[in-house]
Amino acid sequence: MNILGIESSCDETGVALVSVDGAATPRLRAQALHSQADMHEAYGGVVPELASRDHIRRLLPLTRQVLEEAGAALDDLDLVAYTRGPGLAGALLVGAGAAVALAASLGKPALGVHHLEGHLLSPFLAPDPPSFPFVALLVSGGHTQLMRVDGVGDYELLGETIDDAAGEAFDKSAKLLGLGYPGGPALARLATQGNPAAFALPRPLLHSGDLDFSFAGLKTAVMTQHRKLGPTPAEASRADLAASAQAAIVDVLVAKSMRAMQLTGLRRLVVAGGVGANLRLRSTLDAGASKLGVRVHYPPLALCTDNGAMIALAAAMRVQAGRAVPDSTGAFDVRPRWPLHELSGR
């Protein structure tokens, strides 16, 4: 079965072709990705209308590119998958409309996929994929969640952010430091030059006893410290503040993840989403997991951000597990707000 995956939930247009043979692990044959970061940088964040229009321009050229690189033709497709939600409504409609129209023109079915489920399952495309059950730390954009995952579509929410997510804390701290957009990777690069213990920043909810997160207070603390540095802080001070902010975010993510492992008794942790590419997070998680005898699985770095491969993969795994019936009616909708745990009815 050949599945074309289309991702258009926010500011990245992703297309990929995944093939699966029976119960075998799906195989990524080709993918292409266009980031809108340069376009949105002038505005300091994503402009939804511009994002939607750019998806329209990019989808068909990227689809042609993927098929050419995979040595496949449109007639070889068995299913067209697309991101149904969550995300920006206009951007989701572009991808959904294109996917369903393409499927209808080929006489093939289409399938809407949950964006976060794509992230959660993306480590199955790694050379060393996980196996069920496991705990998942989802750190993607405005989402920070801990989930218990017993199988495809079988998800239990263990904890989530009550305000800002980890990704938002990275981006907002970067903006305060004048690092532009997207801020998370820029802050991580500057942090490599700083001292993570230079500023005593808070670790919100670190000892709350539950598995929820809160990063709004940390953002405020970074703003306060930045103001104290004056209008033109030295580069070394900016690097120290970046390193301290990153350390605070990572400490909370790691502590809560290790707590989840202890509470569930599971021995596998999956980390997925854009923040999962952060090298300090990976090294600190690996160290904590080693002490508990836990294995940590990550998606390939190229699949940490939004991409079409994770959408095609999630569609393939849902069909394999009997959790989805592709639609051939040509009807579709999108869900800009869509809690992941609703997929399993928990």
The model's pTM is 0.95
Whether residue 60 sits in one domain with residue 100: yes
- Report strand pairing: 154-160 vs 268-272: unpaired
Q: Decide which of 298, 316, 332 is a domain's last residue.
A: 298
Which own/partner contact pairs does 154-157 have at CB distance under 8 Å and 24+ positions apart?
154/344, 155/120, 155/340, 155/341, 155/343, 155/344, 155/346, 156/341, 156/344, 156/346, 157/339, 157/340, 157/341, 157/346
Check residue 264 and give its pLDDT. 98
Residue 322: which CATH number?
3.30.420.40
Whether residue 290 sits in one domain with residue 248: yes
Q: How many domains is the chain partitioned into structurally?
A: 2
Check residue 221 and give its pLDDT. 97
Whether residue 44 sits in one domain with residue 88: yes
Whether residue 218 sits in one domain with residue 327: no
Element (H, E) at 8: none
The whole-angstrom separation of Cα 110 and Cα 133 is: 28
The whole-angstrom separation of Cα 138 and Cα 211 is: 13
Under 8 Å between Cβ of 271 and 303: no
Domain residues for the domain of 332 are 2-121+303-344
The whole-angstrom separation of Cα 5 and Cα 112 is: 10
Under 8 Å between Cβ of 111 and 69: no
Cα dihedral 39, 18, 145, 248 in deg (nearest 10): -60
Whether residue 200 sits in one domain with residue 138: yes
In DSSP terms, which residues pair with 79 in a beta bridge?
A: 3
Whether residue 186 sits in one domain with residue 313: no
Assign 136 to helix, strand or coil: strand
Under 8 Å between Cβ of 6 and 99: yes
Query: Tokens at residue 290, please?
Result: 């080693």
Check residue 344 and give its pLDDT. 77
Query: Tokens at residue 233, please?
Result: 């802080």
- Reading the chain (346 residues) residue by residue, the pLDDT tens digits are 999 999 999 999 999 999 998 777 899 999 999 999 999 988 888 999 999 999 999 999 999 999 999 999 999 999 999 999 999 999 999 999 999 999 999 999 999 999 999 999 999 999 999 999 999 999 988 899 999 999 999 999 999 999 999 999 999 999 999 998 888 999 999 999 999 999 999 999 999 999 999 999 999 999 999 999 999 999 999 999 999 999 999 999 999 999 999 999 999 999 999 999 999 999 999 999 999 999 999 999 999 999 999 999 999 999 999 999 899 999 999 999 999 988 875 4
Q: Decide which of 283, 298, 313 is a domain's last residue.
A: 298
The full DSSP string for 164-204 is: S-HHHHHHHHHHHTT--SSHHHHHHHHHTTS-TTSS----T
Whether residue 316 sits in one domain with residue 237: no
Q: The tokens 């997510």 sit on which residue?
A: 165
Assign 207 to helix, strand or coil: coil
Whether residue 275 sits in one domain with residue 191: yes
Check residue 25 and give its pLDDT. 80
Whether residue 202 sits in one domain with residue 138: yes
Whether residue 148 sits in one domain with residue 74: no
Name the DSSP letter for residue 26: P
The whole-angstrom separation of Cα 219 and Cα 226 is: 11
Whether residue 315 sits in one domain with residue 273: no
Whether residue 254 sits in one domain with residue 199: yes
Element (H, E) at 19: strand 12-19
Q: Is 235 left (phi over 0), alpha (psi -120 to 50) or beta?
A: alpha
